[in-house]
Each structure stands twice: as C-alpha cells, then as structure tokens.
Amino acid sequence: MRVATWNVNSIRTRYGRVVDWLLREDIDVLAMQEIKCKPEQFPREAFEEAGYELAIHGLNQWNGVAFASRLPLEDVEVGFPSQPGFLKGAEGPDQPQEARALGVTAAGIRLWSLYVPNGRALGDPHLAYKLDWLRVLADDTRAWLADDPTLPLALMGDWNVAPLDSDVGDPSFVPGVSTHISPEERAAFAAFETAGLADVVRPRVPSGYTFWDYKQLRFPRNEGMRIDFIMGSSAFAELVTDAAIHRDERKGDAPSDHVPVVVELSVDAEDEDYDRPMVF
C-alpha cells in the first residue's frame, strides 16, 4: 500500500499533474493540502475516471485539504476535535475554523491530511494561532493513542515547520527573524514525538527538501525547506517498508512549490468498487 502527502497549491491548476503522478507512481491514498477550492469546484471527474474516491474539505479559495483514494474511505472527520479557529482582528475562543484538517480511515489505517497555519511573522497573531493549533492537535493525538495504543495513525501534510537546521536551505529564513524555524515552533513540532509519533520518512530519507519558493531561483539553487512530513504512531511505523521524497515533481510546467512525500506500507490493498466521492 502506497500512501503519500502533497501540498498541491491549487488543485484546479494542477489536477492533470496530480492524477498523472498518482497513476505513474501507483499511489493508493494521497493526502492533499492547499486545494484552494470548495468541494463543488474540485475537478472530481479526472480523479474518478482514474479510479479514485474523494473526500474534500474546502471553504473558499484559500487553504483546503482532501484525500484521493483507490480504497474505500471510512470514518471521514472534518477538523480534529478541539481544532481552534482564526479570524484576523478578532479575539476570543469562538473563531471560525479554517479548512486545514481532514481525517479518514483506509484499510484500517487512520490518516489525517493537515495544512498547519503558516504563522506569517514573529509576533503576528497568526503565529500564536499556529502554536495553539499545534498544541491542541498534539493533545488530541495523545488522547487518540491513549484510547488505542495499537492504532496505526499518521498525521501527514504541510507542517510549516522546519524542525532541524539541516531542513533549512533557504537563506531568507533567518533565526530570530523568521517563522518556521523559531524555538517555539520547533518545540510545538517536537511535542508530537512525546505524544507518540515519529517521522517515518527521515530514517529512510535523511536529507532533502520538500518545498522551494518560486522566487529567487530557489529550486535551481536547491535553496529549499523540509516542511512536509508523515508523522506516524509506532503501529504505523512498523508497517513502513520504504519512503521517498519525489523531488522531480518540482520540475516541468506549472509545478507546485511543494513535492510529494511517499511511504510504502506492508498492507495488502485490494481494489474495491467506487461509487461516488465524499464531499464536505
């Protein structure tokens, strides 16, 4: 069973590339981020014709997460239980949730597609929101695994955090000045390890970036960032037999600024019948 995550940076712009890649790489389940559309705007037909069922969560032209799967998607959940919201200029606990988290179960494995808030700038309210978002998700993760320590669980997506100095090749990210690399953000990411998750890709792919900005020739100069991760429980990690970062997907016409991250699992994924997509 091949499972992947990819910040596609507008699915309506890149659905042809995404579907071609799914078929070429024999991907069973793909978690997507930054789809940037509502469910009724999603290019469903291309995925369905290729044999993929869809679960979609998008509210507007920003953010948005989705799954494409050749396996039946069960227990679809929009947002994690305690997910905080955000509205610029507003205060208080009851802010509207953004389309940043979508959970599904496929072949008995619990998967989440996550688009972690960017943070924007040190001292910005969006950074406080980001840190709170990660804190609450880590708490929920801890609760899920306390309830079922044998749960094969993976949190996948664009985390907008570079946890190690070796994950930072873009010179515009400066310690003490930039988000993504601050001690607070790195501590928030590390909390998922204490919650029971581990990066299941890094042991097999110790180096390499997953994001290169469109500006300043970042990709030709290989000035990228490693900010896309698959964080798995011990039960999930035991299933992983291989992993890869598909750097070549940053090449060619109209690429996303992110590339896919893929894991191979020792799970038999048999084809099923697909009737219709799930949309939210």
Q: Choose the catalytic residue: 15, 140, 228, 258.
A: 258
Catalytic residue chosen out of the listed positions 115, 167, 170, 180: 115
Contact 265, 2 (CB under 8 A): yes
To the question of whether residue 49 is assigned a binding role by annotation, the answer is no
Q: Which of 15, 57, 140, 158 is catalytic?
A: 158
160 marked among binding-site residues: yes
| Burial degree of 94 (CB within 10 A; 0-12, 13-18, 19+) | exposed
Q: Are 172 and 219 contacting, i.e. CB atoms less than 8 angstroms apart?
A: no
147 is in an annotated binding site: no
CA angle 264, 266, 270 (to 5 degrees): 95
Q: Which two tokens stand for residue 223?
A: 């000035």
- The reply, when asked if residue 158 is annotated as ligand binding, is yes
Q: What is the DSSP string of 71-128?
A: S--EEEEES-TT-----TT--SS-PPPPS-EEEEEETTEEEEEEE-----STT-HHHH
Alpha carbons 226 and 160: distance in angstroms, whole number: 9
Q: Is 158 a catalytic residue?
A: yes
258 as an active site residue: the answer is yes
CA distance 97 to 87: 9
**What backbone phi and psi angles, to 5 degrees, belong to 101?**
-150, 135
228 is in an annotated binding site: no
Residue 111 has phi, psi (to 5 degrees) of -125, 140
Contact, 263 vs 230, CB < 8 A?
Answer: yes
Closest CA to 87 of 112, 57, 66, 117: 117
Name, in order, each residue with C-beta under 8 angstroms of 147's C-beta and a sequence gap of 6 or more: none
Q: Say if residue 268 carries a ligand binding annotation.
A: no
Binding-site residues for Mg(2+): 7, 34, 158, 160, 257-258
Binding-site residues: 7, 34, 158, 160, 257-258
Which amino acids are annotated catalytic? 115, 158, 258
